[in-house]
Every structure is written in C-alpha cells, then in structure tokens.
Amino acid sequence: MTAPVNRQIVLAARPAGMPKATDFRLETTPVAEPGPGQILVRNIWMSVDPYMRGRMNDRKSYAPPFEVGKPLDGRAVGQVLKSNHPKLKEGAVVSNMQGWREYFVSAGEGITPLDASLPLSAYLGVLGVPGFTGWYGLKEIGKPKAGETLVVSGAAGATGSLVVQMGKILGCRVVGTAGTDEKCAYVRRELGADAAINYKTAGDCVDALREACPKGVDIYFENVGGPILDAVLRLLNPQARIPLCGMISQYNLEIPDPGPRYLFSMIANRALMQGFIISDHFDRYGEFVGEVGGWLKQRSIKSEETVVEGIENAPKAFLGLFSGDNLGKMVVRLAPDPPASDRK
Amino acid sequence: MTAPVNRQIVLAARPAGMPKATDFRLETTPVAEPGPGQILVRNIWMSVDPYMRGRMNDRKSYAPPFEVGKPLDGRAVGQVLKSNHPKLKEGAVVSNMQGWREYFVSAGEGITPLDASLPLSAYLGVLGVPGFTGWYGLKEIGKPKAGETLVVSGAAGATGSLVVQMGKILGCRVVGTAGTDEKCAYVRRELGADAAINYKTAGDCVDALREACPKGVDIYFENVGGPILDAVLRLLNPQARIPLCGMISQYNLEIPDPGPRYLFSMIANRALMQGFIISDHFDRYGEFVGEVGGWLKQRSIKSEETVVEGIENAPKAFLGLFSGDNLGKMVVRLAPDPPASDRK
C-alpha cells in the first residue's frame, strides 16, 4: 500500500471582486505521521461558506484573513485514522476547522468528537454553523411570537431553510425570498413557507411582499443584503426586529452598493436591527443541537444539501455560492462516508 | 378693554418636498369664554420640531397627519388666564399640545402644570421632548460607558446638545457633527465636546471622523440621516450601539436618499441599531426631569435657544429647522414671560 497523498486548496491570489478559478490552486503534499499526542485525520466533508469571501481580502475583520500561498481553512468533518492522543480514538468522527484539505495532523485543538449516528454532512449545515446561526439569530434577536409575520431572505440556503422551518414551528406566517422559481417552489412545498418570492423577477419586491405580508412584517431575517431589506423596511410593523446574519450580495463588491432608502421606518416603527456573529455564542451550541437535532430525528424539519464531489472541485463549489447554485447547504465530499460499523 | 383676539397658524396646503411660506396661513379667531370645567390658556412659548414635517404629509405614521385648513398643533407652554377647572388655577403655568395658536380653551386634557421656577422655554427644549428624547435614547439604547467614544450628529441642535453634554458627564470621548464652523465651535467650547466636525466641509466625513475617533466609535446618536451614518459604520467598534432618533436630512424628500453602503459593518461588529419614539416612554419623564433638571440647576449643563418672535413668524421658524438656522432649540415667543410674582 502506497502512503496516502494529501491534496489541498491554496489561495493563489487575493480575488478582486468576484473570485475566479485562478485565485485557487490544488497542491499535493505528503501525509505526515502523527507524533506523540497527535492524531491523523482524513476529512470526509468540507464546508464552503459565504463568510470565507471576506477572509480572502487582506483586511482585518471578525475572522483573520487567509494567507496567499497557504491552504484555506474552514469547517470540515473527518475521521481519526491514527491516534497517539489520549482522548481522540481511531475511528472517531470529528468536527474540525482544517477544511480545504484531505488529510491533516493535529494535536487535537479545535477537534470535537461528533455523535456519529446523525448524517455526518449535517454537521456542516443544519446542525453546524449555518443552522446554529439561523437558530440563534431568529430566537435571540428575531424573538418570534405566534401569529407574527417573518420574512427570510436566502430562504432556500443553508441558514434560511432552517429559519423558515423554525418560523413555522413557532407559529409565524413565513415568507421566503430566493433567486429561482425552483427554489421558491422548494421553500413553499418542502419547507412549508406560506409564500415565496423570486427576487430576480419581482422588481423591487415591494408589491410582492405587500401581497405576501398582508399584516406587515414583524421580523426580517437578513441573509442577502440589497433591495429586499429596503422593501421590507416599507412594510415594517411597530417593534419589528431585523437580525442581520449575512449580506452575500455585497461580498464581491469593492465598494458596497448604496443601502436602504427607508431607514426612517426604523424610527417610525421603533424597530431593532442587530448584527451578530455566531462564534460569540458557542456556549449555546449544546442547546441548539438538542433542539434542532431533536426536530431532525423526529423529521419535523428537512435539510437539503447540494453536494460537489472532490477537493479539486471545492473552489467551484465556493464560487457557486455567489451564483446561487446551491439548494440548502453547499458541501464538498472529500471521501465516502464510513459505514456505521466503522464510526466510533 | 377689547376682547383679545386669537391668532393661529393653519396648514394651507400639504407641502411637496421642502415646505414653503405659502403652505401656512395666519388666521384670526375670537377668543372663546371657558365653559364649566374649562380653562382659557394664553400660550407664551411654542415649539417647532422636525417631526412636524412628517405630520404635514397625508400618511399615517406614528403621529396622526395634520389636516389642511385646520390649525397645526404641537408642544407649547402657556398660562391659565381664566379657570372654571377644579385643579388648574388661574396663573398656573402649563405645558400643553395646543401650539401654533395664541389662546385656547380646554377641559384640561393633556395640560400639565409646570414648576414655574425654571425657565419656561426650557420645557420645550432641554427639559421637554427634545431633551427627554436625547436622554432616553442615549441612556437606554446608547448605554454609554466611561472611556467609550460617542458620535452625535446634529450636535448643536435641541436634542444633540444635551446628548453631547451627557456623554461628557458620563465619561465618554464625544465628537459632534454640525453644519457650520460657528456651531462646531459652540459644540467644542460651550458643550465640551472633544472634537466637532463640519459635515458640510468635511467631504464624506470618514477621514475627519477617523482622526476625531482614534479608538473607533462605540455609540452613534443619529439625528440627521445621510452620509454621516455611513462614515460612522466604517469606524464602528465591536458591540457598537446606534440609537436612531431622527433623520432631518430626509424629511423633505419625496423619495428618501439611498442609505448607507457599509451596513455589513453592523454584522462584522455585532452592532445594534434601534429606532425609538419618545411618546412610548413618558413613564420615564419624571426620572428625566429629576436628573436633567438637577444638572441644569447645578449649571452642569447648558441650554441654548434660538428665539423667533411672534406667531406670525412661526412658519419661518419651522422652515429654519431644515436650513439649520437654529443653535440649540428653536422656539417661538408668543407672549412675554410672566414675572415670577404672577406665576402659580
């Protein structure tokens, strides 16, 4: 048996505007042997997420910038192949932050063993950071009450699709926006939204939203940025809440687009808008997994994924986020799921 | 002695964009005799406030629209001339909502006797709604902590000038913006701000604010709307708070200007933006008058007014708000202050 070779994706150049395939490079490195106290992990699934675009710029933000010539990183799920670590056993399925590569050696920092009875890729989506983000933002900032109207942008995406379903479970009227008719159909039929609006064909969205929200808007869960927020502002109810989760439409712009004209509605309606970063709230992760994992096991919620095969296609998967190629969570499969009998 | 005649200002036409003198009309009416249980009040001071512009539109908002052909209304301070009311005595100085007229008869609704030992016009400014608004918004939404940096737009205005001074009392670095060099000098020298920026000569304000806020911005108290907010967003610190009090730059626009490009900063910095309307919080008025009235008596704070003489000039005073004619609170004197011996 030949020694395995690690393939990884390196940031070849900092993108200007929309990233291109040539901003990434596939590299091959030998797989190291784990030293004392170390483990060797083979990644099975890796995540591509919109926030990674910000880390490709040479600007300090809430996460440190990626370095040119170095492998990218991000959330992944892998399996421990070899272990000299006292607690992390061979066969253990683990969450880690060493995505964008097939193999890595670690002393165990940031490595979390997972309940391997759940679908492993779910830990990158509905049970991972995207789901956790939706759960926290809706619950703690959106504070939904039964009978209220919740609008969710990016409703067919990894975060939005959980927010839509949570809104229904909590008794809200839920209206989603998405960028294709197929996604809108999915948001209505599969996720259970009361209405869905294709923002690419609905003009400024004001008329479509007014029709879909006859009692106004109490909560707007913002994943996208741009004109939808402005349309929602015109329909706000008093005491409305706007959790700001993401603004994917703006991430590839050198200078962001002008913002909403109707900010005064925030005053007239005593509205609240709050940005949040889920890494501030990891102390709530157990509570989240308990609640959402429970819904998942009871099949009260659905979780869709768009799967791209192979590390060599990870840049393509990432770029696809910005053209809306994904329904649900975009994930990259780096290796086959181990059979249940091999998971520890 | 001839019976007094009441002069009042009527809304002649709903303004389109910036109001004009011809949108207002001076009317004369007889002064009625108070009936059983009623009082006759002569107004001494009346307030003109930016929020009144919104009420000139035929649109439901947080306050009902004014009616064309009817007198305007708003906050005023007057004295009871005749009383058939069991509690409101002749000579009493009272706050009321029957501004824009010299005399009125009332059954006492919305009439509040005032402590006549304080300057009466202060009840329209630093001790009235503008001051109360600044106090509440800074305290309850801004939540200033010593050592933080507070930026205040409209810093030389009725609300902003109290916010600047409160910020200094509470130990903040305070930076004000205003529209003339004279106002900026006032904000620095008289109100004690650490820096003041003339937004009309400072371009997009980003460089000026960066220089004035070397540790970033923790709180932005928004009175004005427009580009200052966008500049502040680029300098936000983590956990920043933005009380939205007013957006005077937008009130005369048929379609509001585009909003801030840098809203994403709200996410990266987990910032909070919240609109508020002070009429929701009148239960806190006593606490406010206690605290700010105390500062005023101790001369820990200053209160400036721009006085326009006579009901016939009230529309001019109102229009002057939008061209920044006022330093501190814009008030209209309708009658001489009664001597202390005549106040009850």
Q: Is residue A289 part of a domain?
A: no
**What 8-state DSSP symbol labels residue B139?**
I
Interval B62-96: pLDDT, tens: 888 999 999 999 999 999 999 999 999 999 999 99
Whether B27 shows a pLDDT value over 60: the answer reads yes
Confidence category of residue A2, pLDDT binned at 50, 70, 90: low
Residues of B with CB under 8 A from a CB of A: 54, 61-62, 225, 229-230, 244-247, 250, 255-277, 280
Q: Are residues B137 and B213 in the same domain?
A: yes
Substitution target in B140, B273, B278, B281 with the highest count of A β-carbons within 10 Å is B273
Q: How many domains does chain A have?
A: 2
Task: Say how far apart CA B193 and CA A314 lie, in whole Å.
Answer: 53
Whether B287 shows a pLDDT value over 70: the answer reads yes
Interval A319-332: pLDDT, tens: 999 999 999 999 99
Q: Are residues A161 and A198 in the same domain?
A: yes
Q: Do A267 and B275 touch (CB under 8 A)?
A: yes
Q: Is residue B98 part of a domain?
A: yes
Q: Is residue B35 part of a domain?
A: yes
- Confidence at residue B178, expressed as pLDDT on a 0 to 100 scale: 97
Q: Do B62 and A263 touch (CB under 8 A)?
A: no
Query: By residue range, what is the domain housing residue B67?
Result: 5-125+303-342
- Chain B partners within 8 Å of A277 (Cβ): 267-268, 270
- Chain B partners within 8 Å of A274 (Cβ): 266, 270-273
Give the CATH number for residue A266.
3.40.50.720
Whether A60 shows a pLDDT value over 90: the answer reads no
Substitution target in A57, A235, A265, A273 with the highest count of B β-carbons within 10 Å is A273
Nearest-CA distance from A235 to chain B in Å? 12
B281 SS3 class: helix
Whether B1 shows a pLDDT value over 60: the answer reads no
Average pLDDT over residues B324-337: 96
Q: Is residue B295 part of a domain?
A: no
Task: Say how far apart CA B9 and CA B96 lie, in whole Å.
Answer: 16
Confidence category of residue B130, pLDDT binned at 50, 70, 90: very high
Q: Are residues B263 and B334 in the same domain?
A: no
Task: Say how far apart CA B96 and CA A42 lie, in whole Å.
Answer: 75
B51 SS3 class: helix
For residue A120 the two structure tokens come to 């492993």
Q: Is residue B334 part of a domain?
A: yes
Q: Are residues B219 and B201 in the same domain?
A: yes
Q: Are residues B265 and B310 in the same domain?
A: no
For residue A130 the two structure tokens come to 């995207």
Average pLDDT over residues A296-317: 95
Interval A216-260: pLDDT, tens: 999 999 999 999 999 999 999 999 999 999 999 999 998 999 999
- Confidence at residue B343, expressed as pLDDT on a 0 to 100 scale: 78
Select from B336, B341, B342, B340 the least CA-distant residue to B77: B336
Residues of A with CB under 8 A from a CB of B: 54, 61-62, 225, 229-230, 244-247, 250, 255-277, 280
Name the amino acid, one letter, at B190.
Answer: E
Q: Are residues A16 and A98 in the same domain?
A: yes
Of B258, B261, B267, the CB nearest to A275: B267
Q: Are residues A234 and A120 in the same domain?
A: no
Whether A3 shows a pLDDT value over 70: the answer reads no
Average pLDDT over residues B99-118: 94
Q: Which residues, in sequence order, are bridge partners of residue B101?
A: B8
Of A247, A267, A272, the CB nearest to B263: A247
Interval A10-25: pLDDT, tens: 999 999 999 999 999 9
Whether A66 shows a pLDDT value over 80: the answer reads yes
Interval B180-202: pLDDT, tens: 999 999 999 999 999 999 999 99
Question: For chain A, what percent of residues have pLDDT higher than 70?
Answer: 99
Task: Kindly indicate whether the ipTM for this predicted assembly is greater than 0.85, answering yes or no.
Answer: yes
- Chain B partners within 8 Å of A250 (Cβ): 264
Q: Are residues B146 and B263 in the same domain?
A: yes
Confidence category of residue B11, pLDDT binned at 50, 70, 90: very high
Q: Do A244 and B266 touch (CB under 8 A)?
A: yes
Q: Do B274 and A272 touch (CB under 8 A)?
A: yes
- Confidence at residue A116, expressed as pLDDT on a 0 to 100 scale: 85
Q: Are residues A133 and A121 in the same domain?
A: no
| Three-state DSSP string of chain A | CCCCEEEEEEECCCCCCCCCHHHEEEEEEECCCCCCCCEEEEEEEEECCCHHHHHCCCCCCCCCCCCCCCECCECEEEEEEEECCCCCCCCCEEEECECCECEEEECCCCCEECCCCCCHHHHHCCCCHHHHHHHHHHHHHHCCCCCCEEEECCCCEHHHHHHHHHHHHCCCEEEEEECCHHHHHHHHHCCCCCEEEECCCCCCCHHHHHHHCCCCEEEEEECCCCHHHHHHHCCEEEEEEEEECCCHHHCCCCCCCCECHHHHHHHHCCCEEEECCHHHHHHHHHHHHHHHHHHHHCCCCCCCEEEEECHHHHHHHHHHHHCCCCCEEEEEECCCCCCHHHCC
- Confidence at residue A118, expressed as pLDDT on a 0 to 100 scale: 85
Question: For chain A, what percent of residues have pLDDT higher than 90?
Answer: 92
Q: Are residues B150 and B95 in the same domain?
A: no
Q: Is residue A165 part of a domain?
A: yes
Of B250, B270, B276, the CB nearest to A270: B276
Whether A130 shows a pLDDT value over 70: the answer reads yes
Give the CATH number for residue A317.
3.90.180.10
- Confidence at residue B2, expressed as pLDDT on a 0 to 100 scale: 61
Number of CB pairs, chain A paired with chain B, less than 8 A apart:
108
Q: Are residues B206 and B221 in the same domain?
A: yes
Q: Is residue B309 part of a domain?
A: yes
- Chain A partners within 8 Å of B244 (Cβ): 263, 266-267
- Confidence at residue A4, expressed as pLDDT on a 0 to 100 scale: 81
Mean pLDDT, chain A, whole residue set: 95
The model scores a pTM over 0.90: yes
Q: Are residues A141 and A247 in the same domain?
A: yes
Confidence category of residue B344, pLDDT binned at 50, 70, 90: confident
- Confidence at residue B3, expressed as pLDDT on a 0 to 100 scale: 66
Q: Is residue B97 part of a domain?
A: yes
- Confidence at residue B62, expressed as pLDDT on a 0 to 100 scale: 82
Query: Would strands B149-152 and B173-178 be described as parallel, antiparallel, or unpaired?
Result: parallel
Nearest-CA distance from B238 to chain A in Å? 9
